[in-house]
Amino acid sequence: MAQPARFTFDLDLASRPAAPKLVHQPMVPEDLVAQLMAQAREEAYAEGMAAGERNATAYSAQTMATAATALAARTAEMVASLDDANAANLRESVELAASIGRKLAMHLLARYPAVELDALIAECMASLEHVPHLVIRCNPDIADSVRDIATGHMSSSGFAGRLVVLGDPDIRLGDGRLEWVEGGLVRDINAISKQIDSKISAYLAARSGQSQEDEHP
């Protein structure tokens, strides 16, 4: 019976390569790591603060600009309202003064209806020395008084022409007309009132225009 062959390892253990040596990398000191982390945190905090300040500054500037715009608009509205109130007060004051003046004038005319004609006749006769005649038209209720007034002025004015006083029911009490060959004068309280109203309107319009110029120089 054949003998079993012995198993032999085809290895030369004597020539087996040596195991590689482990190289230990140097470790970063913990205090240095802590220092670097603290520095990183400080830099990040500083950057965050700077960014926050920039954002806050920009927001504050925008907020102030918005508030200034709103304040300017509100101020303009208040100035416009104040100008309107002043214009309204001025208009009411002038209209009230004109109304009081009209009432006083009518009261004086009712009490002294020939006073205005007296002044008109005196002024007119002073320049009518060579006029052949003078016609005075007035309300019939004061015709006699006006005739006496005109006769009295004739002696002091030098007027030597013919005097004619006519009562006209269409003429209001206190009004009158003086007529001569080359001219005449009219005393009409309605026309005078219209002139006063026109002057008041012109005055208020001028003041309103001046206020607008002040607003927009």
Q: pLDDT for 110-159, tens place per residue?
A: 788 898 899 999 988 888 888 899 999 999 999 999 999 999 998 888 88
Does any domain span residue 146?
yes
What pTM was estimated for this model as a whole? Answer: 0.53
- 89 and 146, same domain (yes or no): no
Classify residue 91: in a domain, yes or no: yes
Clarify whether residues 146 and 163 are in a common domain.
Answer: yes
Range of the domain at 148: 113-189
> Is 201 contained in some domain?
no
Q: Is 114 buried (19+), middle (13-18) or exposed (0-12) by CB count in 10 A? A: buried
Tokens coding 44: 């990040």
**Do 76 and 44 have their domain in common?**
yes
Higher pLDDT, 28 or 165: 165
For residues 195-210, one letter each, b for 16 or more C-beta atoms within 10 angstroms of the residue's C-beta and e for the rest, the string is eeeeeeeeeeeeeeee
In a domain, 24, yes or no: no
Give the three-state DSSP class for 184. strand
